[in-house]
Each structure stands twice: as structure tokens, then as C-alpha cells.
Amino acid sequence: MKKLFIKTYGCQMNVYDSARMADLLAPLGYAPADVPDAADMVILNTCHIREKASDKVYSELGKLKLLKDEKAQSGGKMLIAVAGCVAQAEGEEIIKRQGAVDIVVGPQSYHRLPELIARINREKGHALDTDFPVEEKFDTLPEEIGTNGPTAFLTVQEGCDKFCTFCVVPYTRGAEYSRPVAQIEREARTLAGKGVREITLLGQNVNAYSGEGPDGETWSLAKLVRRLAKIQGVDRIRYTTSHPRDMSDDLIEAHRDVEALMPYLHLPVQSGSDRILDAMNRQHTRDDYLRLVERIRAARPDIALSSDFIVGFPGETDKDFADTMALARAVGYASHFSFKYSPRPGTPAATQKQVPEDVKAARLEELQELLFAQQRAFNRSCEGRTLDVLFEKPGRQAGQAIGRSPFLQPVHADNAADLIGRIVPVKIEKVFPNSLSARLLYPSRMAEAVS
């Protein structure tokens, strides 16, 4: 067997892609390794979203070069491939900066990896593929899927046509594309057959999903969710990431009607200022967002909301930032991700006058203080409640297992190791900033019976 080491940066779609690259290379004799040392092939699946993310790639490549040289000295060969969004954005440039790289392959062309590897082994030099044959990709990826516990990601939509002025994704992932329903359903059934009980549907704009249905009509995400919820074994469905503009009535209704659809929604707002939202080309106002939140909560009152925020977008004043703080206060989030604006090459906002770094840092700190307090308050509100947890993996202590609540909070419980892969009610006893500690309501053997 050859050793394959994959390191993944960035979003869940990259996590999905890395798993598919491993599936693709398994028939060629590559088995996953935990460390890059002495690997026959190393893939860096990269992210270009912020400067820090893409800079990491080059320092990692520097370290890999040393390992590659070591391997060569002992007569072996290590192939290094750069995949993902940096590969797409920088292409050739990567090979120029780091000659140890053999293959550069974009997020829509990685299904061609076996060909690229064969080419490298045949001829000397480098191989580059940054085309966008997204449909071909999904048609040729192997049906054999490796799973890792009772939860799985399933990409249903790729790319983005929104062109927010800060964002590289439309350039790195290409135009919006939705996989056909039948293909997604087949993959979901395969996952369920392997013991997966929770599927997270992925897309850069997942709620813009509009795929070909088995009836020849165009199906929405809501319709897809209702279909997948019928699959035996698929007990939990989540989806991410949504754009506020595509949060349609039928999807909101699905949150009311579909039991398997979990009460957690990541709905990035980015800013609470109309002026900045406009400059970002988000195509909605703060009021649109607040009314949307009201409608979602009317349909599913206990839904936990989360968001992404960017502070220090070019032109953001103290007043604009105060609007973001006010919006966050008005919504009340269960969790969040927040970032300082990072200028990205080729995006419109990058050439505008920038907010000073210290202002960005101060705003980020203030916003995070509020949002982490909201997260703690949300977690505290769960204390004493009984929640269903899907146990996913062993915890740090013997006998302990870790899983997720319906609201995506990590939950750990003692004497639960034999409940991995099951959904069981637990009593939340203690609350930590980032996790909950719970007690089983029934001894584990009985819990098995009720799960």
C-alpha cells in the first residue's frame, strides 16, 4: 500500500472534497496516513478566503519540501499536490514559488487526479489542471464512499454567482451548479447504508440549490430535504451555508414541518449597516434580514441561529459598526464566526481605502465579547433540559462519548461509549463556554432500546 496524507484547510466543502480525493485514490493503492512523513503522496487542500489562510500554504510547502528531499535520499518518491481554492486562484504561480510541488489541481477538476498522477510518473515536470468541469466531476467521482462515524457531509451545490465585493469564492469555485436530485439521493442512501444518521448538505450557497428532480422539474432545497428525510436511517439533516436572499418560504416551512431538519441555521449577515451591506453587494438590507429572522422564528421558535460577521470592511465607520452591534443584539445568536476584513487580490473591495488594523482589531474584540456572551447565555438556557444527542465518537475519558445536540452544541456524557452512532435523550447538567456535559437518562443498554 502507498501512503496518502491529506491536509485540509478552509470550509466544510473542502472537508468533503478531501474525503472524495481519498475515495478516488483508494483504488490506486493509496491508504490514508496520519502524518506526512515518508508519505508517497501529500495533498494540501487549500483555502483562499483570507490572507492568513492562503499564506499558511507556503510555509507548509516549505516543510514538505524537506520531507520530500529526505524521502528522495532514501531512494523513494513523494508527490506533492496543491488542491483547493489557492490552487485555483494562483495556478502556475504556486509551482514558481515552490518547485517541490508536482501537481496543482482546482476544486472542480480533482476527479482528474489519477490522470495527473499518471502523467507525472510518465513524464518529468509538473501537472496543472484548473478547469471548471463541475458536472463531469460529480459524474465521475467513485460511488464507493468512505465514512467516518455517524455524521457526513454531502455537497449538493457548488459555486457562487453572488459576487460579494470582499469574496474570492465566485472566482475559485466558479458559477453556481446544483447536482441532480437522483445523484444526491443515491449518495445519501449509500451513507445511510454505512450507518450515517446525520447528513449535512453543503453548498457555497446551499439554499440557492435548484437541481434537476426525478420528475424533470427543477427542485428547491426544501423539496430535496423533504425527499432525503424519507430515507430510512437519515434521522438528522442540516445544511450550510445559506444566503439570506435565498431563504425561501418553502425552506422556512420545511423548518416547521420536517422533523429531521435540525433547529439550527447558519445565516451569515456580515454587517448590520445598510451602507456597508450595499457596498458589499449583499443585496439585502438589515431590515430584510431582521424580518427574515422573525419569519424563521415564527416557523420554528426554538431555532438556534448563527452568522458570519466581517468587521473593518473598507469605509466602515463607527456608526456602521454600531449598527452591526445593534443587529447582533436584536437577533441574539447561539454561535458565530467573525473576521477582520482581509483584502483579497482581484476582488473589488481590495482596491478601496482600508480601515486601519488597530480599528479592525478593536471592533472585532467588541463584537466577539457580545457574541460569546450570547453563546454562553444560549448554552446556559439548555441547563437542566433534556436534549437528543447523536453520539459520534469516544471522549477523552474512558467510557465517555461526544456528540451533538439538535442545536449543534458539542455534548459529552459518561458511560456512553457503547451509544456511538445512536440518538439518545440526555439531561444537560453542566454548561461550559463551548460544550455541554450531560447525564444519560437511561442506563446505556436501555438507551439503546429507546434510540
Tell me which residues touch ligand SF4 (CB under 6 A): 160, 162-164, 167, 169-170, 204-205, 243
**Beta strands 79-83 and 103-105: pairing type?**
parallel
Q: Is 154 in the site for ligand SAH (CB under 6 A)?
A: no
Interface of this chain with ligand SAH, residues 314 to 343, rule: CB under 6 A:
339, 341-342
Angstrom distance (rounded) from CA 196 to CA 422: 10
How far lies 186's CA from each of 110, 227, 231, in Å?
Answer: 21, 12, 10
CB of 428 to ligand SAH, least distance (A): 29
Residues 6+ apart with CB under 8 A from 134: 108, 158, 159, 174, 177
Nearer to ligand F3S, 68 or 344 (CB): 344
Stretch that binds ligand F3S, among 8-16, 71-79, 218-226, 371-379 (CB under 6 A): 8-16
Q: Does 9 bind ligand SAH (CB under 6 A)?
A: no
Residue 40 backbone phi and psi in degrees, to 5 = -85, -25
Instruction: Give the interface size with ligand F3S as a residue count (CB under 6 A).
Output: 14
Report the site for ligand F3S in 162-181 (rule: CB under 6 A): 168-169, 172-173
At 38, phi and psi to the nearest 5? 65, 15
> Which residue has the closest beta carbon to ligand F3S?
10
Q: Which stretch binds ligand SAH (CB under 6 A): 65-73, 162-170, 372-380, 411-419?
A: 162-170
Is residue 177 within the footprint of ligand SAH (CB under 6 A)? Answer: no
CB 224, CB 36: distance < 8 Å = no
- From the list ligand F3S, ligand SAH, ligand SF4, none, which binds 300 (C-beta under 5 to 8 Å, kind-based)? none
Residue 77: count other Cβ atoms within 10 Å of its Cβ: 12
- Is residue 14 close enough to count as binding ligand F3S by CB under 6 A? yes
426 and 443 Cβ atoms separated by less than 8 Å: no
Cβ 110 to ligand SF4 shortest distance, Å: 19
> Residue 254 CB, nearest distance to ligand SF4 (Å)?
21
CA angle 366, 372, 376 (to 5 degrees): 145
Q: 123: Cβ–Cβ under 8 A, 6 or more apart, which residues?
A: none
Q: Tell me: does residue 11 bind ligand F3S (CB under 6 A).
A: yes
| Site track for ligand SAH across 239-278, x = CB under 6 A | --x-x------------------------x-x--------
* Closest distance of CB 419 from ligand SAH, Å: 33
> In whole angstroms, how close is the CB of 45 to ligand F3S at the nearest point?
8
Q: What does 13 bind: ligand SAH, ligand F3S, ligand SF4, none (CB cut-off 5 to 8 Å by kind)?
A: ligand F3S
Identify whether the C-beta of residue 397 lies closer than 8 Å to the C-beta of residue 423: no
Q: Confirm or reject binding of residue 167 to ligand SAH (CB under 6 A).
A: yes
Q: Could you tell me the smallest distance in angstroms from the CB atom of residue 416 to ligand F3S?
A: 33
In angstroms, what CA-CA distances link 173 with 49, 52, 160, 262? Answer: 11, 19, 7, 27
List helix spans (H) across 74-219.
Answer: 84-90, 92-97, 113-122, 134-140, 169-173, 181-193
User: What is the C-alpha separation between 124 and 111, in angstroms, rounded?
Assistant: 21
Segments of 241-370 assigned E as strands: 264-266, 304-311, 335-340
Q: Kindly state the smallest distance separating residue 300's Cβ from ligand SAH, in Å.
A: 20
- Most distant pair of Cα atoms in the chain: their distance: 65
CB of 10 to ligand SF4, least distance (A): 12
At 214 the three-state DSSP class reads coil
Which residue's CB is nearer to ligand F3S, number 54 or number 324? 54
What strands lie across the sheet with 236-240, from one edge to the other? 151-155, 198-202, 236-240
Q: Does 47 bind ligand F3S (CB under 6 A)?
A: yes
- The H or E element containing residue 221 is helix 221-228
Residue 10 contact partner, candidates ligand SF4, ligand SAH, ligand F3S, none, CB within 5 to 8 A by sort of partner: ligand F3S
Buried b (16+ CB within 10 A) or exposed e, 343-371: ebeebbbbeeebbeeebbeebbeebeebb
Minimal distance in Å, beta carbon 386 to ligand F3S?
36
CB-nearer residue toward ligand F3S: 16 or 442: 16
- Using the rule CB under 6 A, is 310 a contact of ligand SAH? yes
Least distance in Å: CB of 178 to ligand SF4? 15
Residues that bind ligand F3S (CB under 6 A): 10-11, 13-14, 47-49, 84-85, 168-169, 172-173, 204
Residues that bind ligand SAH (CB under 6 A): 49-50, 166-167, 169, 204-205, 241, 243, 268, 270, 308, 310, 339, 341-342, 344
